[in-house]
Each structure stands twice: as structure tokens, then as C-alpha cells.
Amino acid sequence: MSDIEDILVRLRARLNERDIKLWEQPYYLDTAGASEAALEQLAQELSPELHISASACKSGLQQLQETALRKLAARRQFNETGLATFHVRCVDSHGGTANRFEVQCGLEELGAQLQRHVAAQLQLAEDGQVKCISAGRVLAPQQTLQAQGLKNNQQLLVIVGQGDGSGGEALYERIRQIQRDVEMVVDSEHRFVELEDQDGNVINLPPNENRALLLGMGLYEKGRAAARREQFDEALLLFLDADEKFSGCNSRFLEAVDNYGLLNLDIVWCYLCLKNITQLPDAQRRLDLCERNFQRSYGDNYSRLYALKGANCPERALIMRLQLLQGVLLFHQNRRDEALQRLQLAGNSLSQLKVNGEQLALLIEMGFDVADARLALRSSNGSVEQAVQAIQERRQRLLATRLGDNSETEMHRRLTQLQLGSDERDWVHPRSVCRLVELGYERPLVVEALRRTDNNLERSLELLRQHADELRRNLPASVAADEQLLYTLGELGFKLPTARAALETTRNDMDRAIDFLLKSLPNEQELNSLIGLMTRLTAPSGEGASGSEQPAVTPSKLTLIQSILSKASSELESYSAYKRFHEDLPENEQDYLDLTLEQEEQILNEYRRLLEL
């Protein structure tokens, strides 16, 4: 933030306190315009009060007056013509202001029309290169501005998706590819991604809620990857997209964990890095939400967190960033005493979170990852020996937890396959299934009991104890595999035991059986082998592996092979999507806690200096 912006904040607050209107007499005359003498006199009065030089004070007053007059003119025009004026600030990836201008558009117009006006002002060939952000939302092209809550004289943040030097790829095409990849990864039944708690325990939710949360988390992770590269424009767009997914989820899980609070914290961090104080009201709302979320997760004044993990826990870095951003917002609201208190809290935390460079280098030389090393040193109050022990203990806990979850994860995978085409009412909780099977009950009976009781463990146990015979009588009758269909699948290269299980599970529905078989392939290599085999079978002529001619393929079998190829190609694309999704994500699941604190310290010092002026 520049010194002139600081002066404007202080002047604006003092003028509001004294109810001084620079667009009225004696500071502005309808016949003569701005009164230099009146502004000069006012500057002389305010200069000693605010400890600002008279010349800087007058310059700030003139700037505030010009802004007020432009807004008044826009208000008159809106009342007369219905055209709303929007104050646009276009930013580059790293927060610089590329352009400032005004555009006009009727509130009954679609968002696409406003995009056209902005694109024309920026001399862009395509409207789609423009994304307009207002009050924490990316404007939708096919909704009216009024329906999206826009008003006259509103501030807009604009991000332009032109080539950014990384191979000429446009920003928005990259984001669209990320969105497609995240959807493919989440929707794939290969279980590429799962919800886990901080200790690595798998969290299972009903499918609809699970999908909404995974979409939000996937977009959030890609946004964090962009933020690590300091591509804050891309990060902000992905964060806002993730926010939309999260906001559509009513799960209690969303309220109980800190992920949604972290998302809001990161959105405000992007606002700050993009120097976008025009989003101040949305930033305040998001920080309030983040603080409430942290209080629920960590206890009042973070007491539960500190009791469990100690005062030097890595999560303190997130609390420090929250305090820093709160201080910045208070500063821009000219609540300077409160801002100073908040920044002092952030500064105290930051100084305690710093790690010794030599100790960090020593742990890295010992073969530990830089993030693990930094987090462990913070948790161990700078003790190298304790840091090594902490890293090893965490790795052992994580390994044990994931090994313990294998049976449940496999159960969830099998249940997902067995319920192809089922709705959410048939969903059963894998953890409950595992518990009841471990007690000695038959798996089909357990699944039926949980379905009947809507996953109530106690009622399911009562059903199994007292009504097992009735449950067994109502189980779907088993169906033997159709031998002709089994023979066909064997001819196509599928293993007969797996093919038989697929047909019995799907009650001889060939299409669903193929889905079952494709989704049961363990890896990409086997999927590629299957595609290669199907491709050879469809070749018009050629020889098999032994050198003999391949038998002719009947039209009906050719149709089936083409269907398998199409589905297998879709499965293969899901593997490719996962590779793209995963390529810039950190291996360390605690990476979100690993703040280097360099940017935070720079911002802290900048605002402290402004408060000392």
C-alpha cells in the first residue's frame, strides 16, 4: 500500500467524522467548480491533526473530491438513463494494476454484455478473455447484473486471460482444463481422491455430499498450487469456483472442519496480493467466517488446539495470517488502534514461528523434506533432536492409519461397484459395514440391514440379532451367469472368474458388466493392454500373436468391441486427468501449514510503517 493511499484512508475517515462534503459549498460551486481557496484552508486545518504535510493533504482532498464528483455524475446519469457506471480495476497475475477505467451498462443487461464493454475498453478480440469479480463472485454471463446484486457505482476487479508466457497457454483455457480434470478425477470410480482427516483417516459421506466436497477441495488444491507459484489471478478464480461448490453443500462436515475457513482465508490473501482493497466488504465477511470456523475447530481462543498440540503447533501460522489480514482490514477502515493491536499479535506469532536457517539446512541434509523439516522445527521450539523424532512419529502414525483403513477403503470400492445405477438411498456406510462384519455377521445381511435403517448402527445390529431370517428372505435372489455371455467375454480377453462375478453382480446386464470389468482393472497398464487387444480385434485384417490369421469378427461382436473401446478410452482419460491434476500438488499433506512467512513479514512491516506515520 502506498503512502498516498494511507493519506486517503485517513482523510476520508476524518471528513466523515466532521460531516464534510467536498462536493458541496464552500468546497465546490456549481457555477465555478472546485474552490482552491476552500480546499487550501481545509488542508491547513487537517494537516496538523493528521500529521500530514499541507501539500499532501490538499492533493488528497482534491483526489477525494474528484472521485466524489464522478460518482455524483454517475448517479445522475443512472437516474436519467438507467445506465449504471462500474469502476474497473484490471490487474496482472502478481497484483499490479494494469488499467483503471469506467464502463457503463444497464442493470437489466446480462453479465455477457458487461464483459463485452470491458473487453472493448481493453481492445480485446474476445469477450471470453474477461472475468469480472464483484463482492466475491465471478459474474455469470447468462444472468442479469441486477440478479447478481450489482449496483450503480460498484467496483469491479477484472482479470484478463491472455497468454502468460507459459507456452502461450491462455489462463482461462488452463482453468477450464483444471475444472474438467477435477470433475473426471472426482467422478472416477477408481477412487483417485478421498476425503481424509488430518491423521489420514478416510472420511466417508453419502455420494452426493462426497462429490460436492471433493469438487470443492480439488479446485481449492489447484488454486493453492497457483498461489504457491504466485499466480494470484489464477488462484483467485479457482478459489472462487471452489467457494461456489462448497456453498452448495449442506453437509455438517463443512461446518465441523477448518477447510472452508482456510479457503476464505486464502481468498482474502489473494485480494491483498492483488492489491484489491475494493473487495473490502467481502474480505471482512470472509475473515469473520474464517474466525468462526477456526473457533469451532480449535476452541475459543484456540484453547483446544493449544491443549492438544502445544502453543508452538504448526497451525499457529494460519492463525498468524488471519491476525495479519484482520489488522490490514482494520487499517483500511481507519481503526488504527485496533489495527495496531492485531498486527502486534501477528508480529509476536511470526517471530516465534521463524525457524533457524542452519537447523533447517541440517534437517534437509539428513534427507527430510523441507516442509516436514520446517513444520517439525516449529513444533519442537527449534530443537533438531525433537524435530527428527516428531517427523518419524508422524510418518509411523500416518502409515499405521492408512494400513488400518485398507479394509474399509476396499469395502467402499466394492460397494460402489455393486451399486452401479443406484441412488443415494441405497448408500451404506463402509465403516459400519466393517464393524458389523467383524462381529461375525454375513456381509449381504449387513448391507441390507444398514439400508433399511438409513445407516443407523444400533438399529442395524438389532435387526441382525433379532430378524436375520427375515433379512435373508428379502435378499435379492442370486442369478447365475449366462454361459453364452460368459463365453463372449472370455473371447474378448476377460478372465473368466472376473467375468462371471461381473455378470452375476449385474444380473447378466452386459453393458453394466463391462462397466464393472473396466472399473475393476487395477491400473493404467492393464487398461492400455485391453485397449490394445480390442484395437487388434477390430483390425480389418492381420495376424494374431502366433502368426495365424485372426478369426472374422461378427457385426454384433464388433459393436460390443467398439463399446468397450469407447468406455475404456474414457477410463484412460480419467487416468490422464489424474496425472494432470496431481502434477503440481505437494506430496506433504500438511503443506497448507508450511508458510515460509516471507510475504507475511513484508506486509506486516509495510503496515506497521504506515501506522507509525
User: Average pLDDT per run of 10 along the chain, which is 613 residues long?
Assistant: 81 92 92 91 93 93 94 94 93 70 94 94 85 91 94 91 52 89 79 60 68 87 92 93 83 66 93 79 90 87 84 87 95 91 94 90 90 89 88 80 55 42 51 78 82 83 90 80 91 86 82 82 82 82 50 79 88 85 81 89 92 79
Residues 6 or more apart from 309 whose CB is under 8 A from it? 315, 379
As given in the structure block, the three cell numbers for residue 339 are 489495527
Q: Which helix (H) or strand (E) holds 104?
A: strand 97-106
Burial 56-83 (b: 16+ CB within 10 A, else e): bbbbbbbebbeebeeeeebeeebeeeee
Closest CA to 324 of 348, 352, 301: 348
* 84 neighbors 73 (Cβ within 8 angstroms): no
Q: Based on the domain organization, do 223 and 363 belong to the same domain?
A: yes
Q: 352 and 450: one domain?
A: no
Residue 327, pLDDT score: 95
Q: Are 203 and 333 within one domain?
A: yes
Structural domain includes residue 239 = no
- Whole-number pLDDT of residue 73: 94
* pLDDT score, position 431: 64
Last residue of a domain, one of 433, 455, 473: 473
Q: Which residues contact 74 (CB under 8 A, 6 or more apart)?
A: 84, 85, 102, 152, 153
CA distances to 232, 350, 414, 603 from 599, in Å: 13, 11, 47, 6
Domain residue limits at 41: 1-77
Neighbours of 201 (CB within 10 A): 15
Q: Are residues 391 and 426 in the same domain?
A: no
The Cα–Cα gap between 10 and 1 comes to 13
Task: Say what the pLDDT of residue 284 is.
Answer: 92
Within-domain flag for 574? no
What secondary structure letter does DSSP report for 475?
A: S
> Number of helices and strands (H, E) in the chain?
27, 7
Burial 508-533 (b: 16+ CB within 10 A, else e): bbbebbbbbbbbbbeebeebeebbeb
* Domain identity same for 431 and 341: no
Examine the domain organization and report whether 221 and 324 are in the same domain.
yes
- Which neighbouring-strand residues pair with 159? 91, 131
* Structural domain count of the chain: 3
Rounded CA separation 27/68 (Å): 12
The reply to whether 38 falls in a domain is: yes
Eight-state DSSP code of residue 257: S
Contact 471, 445 (CB under 8 A): yes
Q: Which of 342, 320, 197 is nearest to 269 (CA)?
A: 320
Residue 209 lies in a domain: yes
The radius of gyration of the chain's CA atoms, rounded to the nearest angstrom, is 31
Where does a domain end: 48, 77, 106? Answer: 77
DSSP SS3 for 519: helix
Residue 371 lies in a domain: yes
Q: Write down the residue that cell numbers 487398461 correspond to.
A: 527
Domain identity same for 392 and 446: no
Together in a domain, 385 and 460: no
Quick one: 355 and 256 in the same domain? yes
In a domain, 530, yes or no: no
Task: Tell me, yes or no, whether 377 and 438 share the same domain.
Answer: no
Residue 54 counted as domain residue = yes
For residue 612, is it within any domain? no
pLDDT of residue 58: 94
Question: Are 439 and 387 members of one domain?
Answer: no
- State how far the Cα of 596 lies from the Cα of 314, in Å rounded to an integer: 12
The verdict on 19 and 72 lying in the same domain is yes
- Amino acid 151 reads K
> Which of 364, 398, 432 is where one domain is finished?
398
- What pTM did the predictor assign? 0.77
